[in-house]
A = this chain, B = another copy of it.
Amino acid sequence: MKKIRAGIIGTGFIGPAHVEAVRRLGFVEMIALCEANEGLAKAKAEHLSIPKSYGSVEQFLADKEIEVVHNCTPNHLHFEISKKIIASGKHVISEKPLAMTTAESKQLVKLAAKSGVVNAIDFNYRYYPLVQEAKAMVEGGKLGDVFHANGSYTQDWLYLQTDWNWRLVPGLSGKSRAVADVGSHWCDCIQFISGLQIKRVLADLRTIHKTRMKPRKEVETYSGKMLAPSDYEPVKINTEDYANVIFEFSNGASGSFSVSQCFAGRKNRLFYELSGSKCSVVWDQERPNEMWIGYREKPNEVLIKDPSLLSPRARAYAHYPGGHPEAYPDGLKNFMLRVYLHIAGASKEIDFSTFQDGHNELAICEAVMASSQGSKWATVRY
């Protein structure tokens, strides 16, 4: 297969994960990196063994060799930078959220469509083999009608009052935090699997730490737990630490999920329970190689990620034999594989999450915030 050349803008927590994931494919070269300034870019490029480095997005985008761009900047920059990438005619893989508002995200969807570039957004949890298997079960009629869906997404990296990260600043991360950061993954998964759309929501958002202690030095996502900052300043917090959301699907079924970034002991537990008229499926991202399948009239099952037991659809996402567990980095690799196979022309299908999905999640987020403020059902305006 012809080698495809890619570049990346932004190298915080998720950037290096993108780099590693695309390298696994073998047919993609990560040739350039862009950071806030030249010095940082050079250092990061050296650290990540990437040949070229740029301190400006314009210069980076002017590099003709780069065919695909990974937008891994902080949230508030996603919109402007993705616009520029599209304008440059390069393919774009954006981190989520797609933008800060649906006004922006709608614009990006349109621009990408008009330009014809491949556009993708990193809803990485879809790409676990057993999430694909759940979707295959729904599509194949094995689940039956969807009765209801439940679950939660719980973490503890913002548990303490002294935990700090740029995601706590609305100007950088957006007006919603727990729901936008991780609730969006939950919604994307459940919609992807069920094939149903969330039509309206009834939500209650809460800020547990109404004041947080901000350390004076920078802290990267998820890495604050490793630090012991000696110097803080109090900062008022307006975004939610915790949320409960009831929702209604397009088929009339309902469900609920809760999201918390202050749940001690849960690290990154995306958990769903989907009840159908033939069986139910339950999955926990912290134990991603097993899916519980519940039955009324026979024993429940625990399906292990074993290619020989999976549907053809899911098998394409399982690269190692049963009992050789695959996990978070492999989901990301699967996402990149689907996108780059399409870019390479080896796959015609758009079997990956696109800017449209990114827009959809922002629409749900806005409805959740509106519902919580109004204490009533809010319709999602896609």
* Given A49-B1, A267-B304, A299-B304, A294 and B255 contact (CB-CB distance below 8 Å): no
* Given A148-B260, A275-B263, A17 and B300 contact (CB-CB distance below 8 Å): no
* Given A20-B24, A286-B325, A324-B328, A147 and B262 contact (CB-CB distance below 8 Å): yes
Tell whether A204 is near chain B: CB-to-CB under 8 Å.
yes
Tell whether A168 is near chain B: CB-to-CB under 8 Å.
no
* Given A49-B1, A321-B157, A326-B328, A208 and B147 contact (CB-CB distance below 8 Å): yes
Q: Mark A324-339, 1 if CB is under 8 A from B, else 0.
A: 1111111000000000
**Smallest CB-CB separation from A1: which chain B residue?**
B49
Q: Mark A27-57, 1 if CB is under 8 A from B, else 0.
A: 1000000000000000000101110000000
**Smallest CB-CB separation from A291: which chain B residue?**
B299
Tell whether A67 is near chain B: CB-to-CB under 8 Å.
no
Residues of B within 8 A of A306 (CB): 225, 267
Q: Are A242 and B280 in contact (CB under 8 A)?
A: no
**Smallest CB-CB separation from A30: which chain B residue?**
B26
Residues of B within 8 A of A275 (CB): 260, 262-264
**Smallest CB-CB separation from A302: which chain B residue?**
B300
Q: Mark A283-297, 1 if CB is under 8 A from B, else 0.
A: 001111100111111
Q: Are A289 and B286 in contact (CB under 8 A)?
A: yes
Tell whether A83 is near chain B: CB-to-CB under 8 Å.
no
Distance (whole angstroms) from the CB of A370 to the closest CB of chain B: 14
Tell whether A166 is near chain B: CB-to-CB under 8 Å.
no
Residues of B within 8 A of A152 (CB): 150, 273
Distance (whole angstroms) from the CB of A219 to the closest CB of chain B: 12
A302 to B155: give the CA distance in the assembly, Å.
Answer: 16
* Given A24-B20, A246-B204, A330-B327, A279 and B254 contact (CB-CB distance below 8 Å): no
Residues of B within 8 A of A266 (CB): 280, 294, 323
Of the residues B242, B265, B273, contact of A294 by C-beta under 8 Å: B265
Residues of B within 8 A of A267 (CB): 304, 306, 321-324
Distance (whole angstroms) from the CB of A271 to the closest CB of chain B: 10
Tell whether A347 is near chain B: CB-to-CB under 8 Å.
no
Q: Are A268 and B49 in contact (CB under 8 A)?
A: no
Distance (whole angstroms) from the CB of A193 to the closest CB of chain B: 16
Residues of B within 8 A of A154 (CB): 273
Residues of B within 8 A of A295 (CB): 264-265
A: residues with CB less than 8 A from B are 1, 3, 13, 17, 19-20, 23-27, 46, 48-50, 147-148, 150, 152, 154-157, 159-160, 202, 204, 206, 208, 222-223, 225-226, 242, 244, 246, 253-256, 258, 260, 262-269, 273, 275-276, 278-280, 285-289, 292-304, 306-309, 319-330, 375-377
